[in-house]
Structure 1
């Protein structure tokens, strides 16, 4: 069973998975990175460009999904270095420190809350995020063209691409595509007919929506909606 709620860390979401016998669906691209805990391990989920399957036996998971673009400062690495990867937190931070944090989460009554507290403590000592991140995500999530968005932000295309790679793990066109997918899924899951969903989310038509979902999610839209 999957549960989530808004985090006390601005713009973030905390979530948990408890094994219940059901087959877990794939993790879809969100334009985000996560801090993960699972049965004694602390890991980092990099930004995905495609669906990431749940491999191995069912197990407990807790996670904190950062607001798009904010995790690289937290983890201390550019997002593109972790694109489509799951790595041990000890590969990024000193092993002794990670062991202490892991023990803290293991002993906590609620691993989700423990992860959230760790994120709040570290984030309090970090500089504010790059001011271009929020307006960029807002513009692309509203369906604004990348070129127009770059002009509005006063950034050239190459500079925007470099900063997007570091912050999101991929360029602004891929980020726009991922955000469009999430818009479409939210509309479809709320009961909006698929043809209308396609238009409102920014696709040319329903077949365009279907192709994009299959490429990014690895399965047809109908199957994804049944599982989600």
Structure 2
């Protein structure tokens, strides 16, 4: 992420809870990496920066970046999308952890280690984040919240509300407000 007001480049690690931030007036730019690509870009496992905001210079001291366009070019030149990891995320959207591990040809423990390195989360937490992401897409497209809950895989609308507040820090209605 880059904010022109402070001219600082930093990396936001994968979050396991809401990270509400106060940002100075102005613009904030960010690069969103494909699932599992964090280690290829920054050279560290994703779990090493989970729930943290780290100056880019601390993660990649050799990177001499001075603008957001430099950061975009830097990320684009280093990003590697592993099809197995992309498949893992897709499988975990619809399968339980044990079935997904079996389908990929890994033990549950191997899947856990790979998920921690690539995504920053163990498989169950990754499932939670993926379900949250699916719910957001549905809600942004105007699907009623009760239907969002069912289609995204929540037990009911109250479950959806608790998970959204836990992961985003605000209610779903406030999160999708333009």
TM norm. shorter chain > 0.5: yes
Q: Supply the distance in 2 between the matched residues of 1:74 and 1:46 (Cα, whole angstroms).
A: 12
For 1:91, the equivalent position in structure 2 comes to 58
Q: Secondary structure at the match of 1:174?
A: helix
Q: Supply the distance in 1 between the matched residues of 2:144 and 2:119 (Cα, whole angstroms).
A: 31
The reply to whether residue 196 of structure 1 matches residue 147 of structure 2 is yes
Q: Supply the distance in 1 between the matched residues of 2:152 and 2:29 (Cα, whole angstroms).
A: 30
For 1:137, the equivalent position in structure 2 comes to 89
Deviation at 1:122, TM superposition (A): 3.4
As a proportion of its length, which structure holds more helix? 2
Deviation at 1:219, TM superposition (A): 2.1
Q: Supply the distance in 2 between the matched residues of 1:203 and 1:166 (Cα, whole angstroms).
A: 27
The reply to whether residue 101 of structure 1 matches residue 70 of structure 2 is no
For 2:126, the equivalent position in structure 1 comes to 175
Aligned-residue CA RMSD in angstroms? 1.8
Runs of 4+ aligned residues of structure 1 deviating over 4 Å after TM superposition are: none
For 1:116, the equivalent position in structure 2 comes to 72
Cα pair distance change 1:118/1:145, threshold 3 Å: same
TM-score (norm 2): 0.89
TM-score (norm 1): 0.71
Structure possessing the higher relative contact order (Cα contacts under 8 Å, 6 or more residues apart)? 2
**Does the 8 A contact of 2:12 with 2:52 survive in 1?**
yes
Cα pair distance change 1:129/1:182, threshold 3 Å: closer
Q: 1:215 pairs with 138, 144, 166, which one?
A: 166
Q: Supply the distance in 2 between the matched residues of 1:216 and 1:180 (Cα, whole angstroms).
A: 11
Please give the residue correspondences for 1:52-63 in structure 2 after superposition, counting only pairs within 5 Å. Answer: 52-63=19-30
**Does the 8 A contact of 1:48 with 1:84 survive in 2?**
yes
**Structure 2: stretches of 5+ with no match in the other structure:** none
As a proportion of its length, which structure holds more strand? 1
